[in-house]
Amino acid sequence: MVMKLNNHTESYENAKKNYAAVVKNESSTPEQIETAWSEMQDALVNSLSTQIKEQVTNDNLDNMVLTSRGTNVLTTEERTFFNAVVQSDGFTSNVILPETVVERIYEELTADHPLLSVINFRNLGTITLTAITSEYEGAAVWGPIFGDIKGQLDAAFKQENIAQSKLTAFVVLPKDLKKFGPTWVEAYVRAQITETYAVALENAIINGAGPTKHEPIGLIRDLAAAVDPTNGHAKKAAQSTLTLADSQTTIKEFAAIGKLLSKKENGKPLNVSGKVVLIINPEDAWDLKAKFTTQNSLGVYITALPFNFTLVESVFATSGEVIAFVKDRYDAYRGGGVEVKEYEQTLAIEDCNLHVAKTFAFGKPRDNKVAAIYTLSITTTTTTTAAV
């Protein structure tokens, strides 16, 4: 059984929403962003500590039950690794987390965060990567039995060198680790890294300005526009407006989204059926849910979007906008494992040891037709009932 600490406190959720609001505000200063990030991290630490304290009293009983069922909570390598962390009150030297722990971090990233679950994360293992991608339908070609296929394959596959960006997370460990034991320390470290990485990756996949800012290239960015040497890739202009005025208008507007995304930048057609994702701010999402929720004959309310589009909510999506994209045409890469070391700068945290966990990651749309931005303009009507 894997220990999971993802039932976060309301304080942390509010701090995360505040951070999202600050980073989306173009007038925010670096100091304001740093303050919001620090407040979110403090709330995360408090949330994780609260969850451990609430659950650790049941730990002995749980272990007895697990042992009786023959369940191994941690692998031998993981238990040895985190036992050493417990005995030394933290990570005393540069270490690489066990690969099994890293894999669980990314499994939980994609399982617990809807946007990350529809992104192609590939582990290429190195810091400087050579990525090979293909557009699927071009990877198999017909030709003469003794004909030359090299040129056809060259056109189908693309090789790209990617210098990944470094992604760093703070890991705050209580100084009284010994009372928790290796299983809870592993869960604590994994949960803290997972949540911190998830927030950073989700923001970058949507809004990342690209290598100029040492970030991935986000879905909202225009790959065809000139790259600003200071601010990176420019934001795309809105394609059009979604009104969802009535059922026929809604069908036409959604069909236009599918039609736009069904052609690659080079003009070749693309089958996007079942692959279109709409990213929307959680507040705006309720307007869409209201439009697409009906009650069936059994009295059950069902929410379904036209053409099997998928709705994904993100606090990093701009209010009043919808981002439509083809989910298997955004490529995200990671490599280099997750290295944890002591934080050597001066930063006092009472009763805690501070460490940093770093990994390397990058992401980008395959071309400029992977995603499009739409302005959301839904008119809500209010009905009143006359007094009887």
Q: What is the pLDDT of residues 247-267, one digit of tens each?
A: 999 999 999 999 999 999 999
Q: Is residue 98's pLDDT more than 70?
A: yes
Residue 99 lies in a domain: yes
Residue 201 lies in a domain: yes
CA distances from 266 to 136, 237, 263, 328, 330 (A): 15, 20, 8, 17, 16
Residue 149 lies in a domain: no
Q: Tell me which residue range forms the domain holding 288.
A: 1-127+164-382
What total of structural domains would you count in the chain?
Answer: 1
Cα–Cα distance for residue pair 78/99, rounded to 1 Å:
9
> What residues are paired with 242 via a beta bridge?
376
Residue 387 lies in a domain: no
pLDDT single digits (tens) 8-65: 888 888 999 999 999 888 888 888 988 888 888 888 888 887 777 777 655 555 555 5
Residue 388 lies in a domain: no
Residue 200 lies in a domain: yes
Residue 7 lies in a domain: yes
- pLDDT at residue 91 in the model: 72
Residue 375 lies in a domain: yes
To the question of pTM greater than 0.75 for the whole model, the response is: no
C-alpha closest to that of 122 among 326, 339, 360: 360
C-alpha closest to that of 63 among 50, 73, 55, 53: 73
Q: What is the mean pLDDT of the chain?
A: 79
